[in-house]
Amino acid sequence: MEIIIQPTPQAATDVAARIIARLLREKPDAVLGLATGSTPLLLYRTLIAMDLDWSRVTTFNLDEYIGLPREHPQSYHSFMWENLFQHVNIAKDRVHIPDGNAKDIPRSCNEYEERIREAGGIDLQVLGIGTDGHIGFNEPTSSLASRTRIKTLTRQTCKDNARFFGSEQAVPKHVITMGIGTIMEARQNLLLAFGTNKARAVAEAVEGPITSINPASILQMHPVVKVCLDEPAASNLQRADYFRWVYENKPEWQTL
Ligand code: GLP
């Protein structure tokens, strides 16, 4: 895991955006895994401003609420079109988001996995992290080998996401999410986290034991993971000084 600590969310986002921009320039038909939530908003704004060519890019989103109409302002379909896709030259048929209104959810989950495979796998997966360490909507105790499937949200996640829905009761309790096994197959993972409310989850994921209680901790087993943090999100890390030292002393050819 490479831990990149920057003074502000924008500075941490700029590093992440440069990594993605470099990938899209080197591989114009790259397959990107994308995330929702407040954390990647800055990233999407930054990528839009970079004016990259998305015409051959394929995307797969991590998750979606079950039962929310696609047009609902809080569906992840709406989120992605509003905050990224409508602003770039992506081809509509290359965008994939789990279908929270599918008649046969298990079947549509299997088909989603199949489509990822057909696309050649995910080159780079963008991740946020929940205050409980969830990635995608893989809540604590999710199988570390899980695939795309239905999950029930924890009370904590419903509380955390109530701000988008007006009340905790309005947050759908069921979701479709890529599994942890699915995320671990991405060739590269790029996790962003900002703010003190993420500090504990980040420290457990980076420096704690690998455990399904903090699903993000499995990323310690992935060979290519970059974690872009602002100072508050890094504030519980025991080895923050070492991580800063590593970043400041990167060999020229490795600079991001
Ligand atoms: C949501 C999403 C996750 C996201 C996380 C953190 O529930 N399903 O993909 O990483 O919670 O959200 P935020 O970035 O708003 O803190």
Ordered DSSP codes for 35-56: --SSHHHHHHHHHHHTT---TT
Q: Compute, in angstroms, the gap from residue 163 CA to the centroid of ligand 1.
A: 12
Domain assignment of residue 241, yes or no: no
Ligand 1, pocket residues at CB < 6 Å: 35-39, 62-63, 128-130, 136-137, 157, 161
pLDDT-based confidence at 256, cuts 50/70/90?
A: confident
Whether 132 is catalytic = yes
- CATH number for the domain spanning 95: value is 3.40.50.1360
pLDDT digits (tens, 9 = 90+) for 187-209: 999 999 999 999 999 999 999 99
**In terms of residue numbers, what domain contains 81?**
2-235
Domain assignment of residue 65, yes or no: yes
Question: Which backbone phi and psi does 38 adopt, to 5 degrees?
Answer: -75, -30
Whether 63 is catalytic = yes
Q: For residue 255, is pLDDT > 90?
A: no
Catalytic residue among 63, 113, 185, 204: 63
Domain assignment of residue 243, yes or no: no
Q: For residue 82, is pLDDT > 90?
A: yes
Domain assignment of residue 127, yes or no: yes
Domain assignment of residue 187, yes or no: yes
Domain assignment of residue 249, yes or no: no
- Classify 205 as helix, strand or coil: helix
Whether 134 is catalytic = yes
What's the pLDDT at 8?
98
Mean pLDDT of the chain: 97
Residue having the nearest C-alpha atom to atom 6 of ligand 1: 130
Distance CA 68, CA 28 (A): 33
Whether 139 is catalytic = yes
Residue having the nearest C-alpha atom to atom 11 of ligand 1: 130
Distance CA 35, CA 61 (A): 6
Q: Compute, in angstroms, the gap from residue 36 CA to the centroid of ligand 1.
A: 6
pLDDT digits (tens, 9 = 90+) for 118-157: 999 999 999 999 999 999 999 999 999 999 999 999 999 9
Q: How far is CA 186 from CA 59, 138, 179, in A?
A: 12, 16, 11
What's the pLDDT at 252?
85
Q: Compute, in angstroms, the gap from residue 249 CA to the centroid of ligand 1.
A: 32
Our count of domains for the chain comes to 1
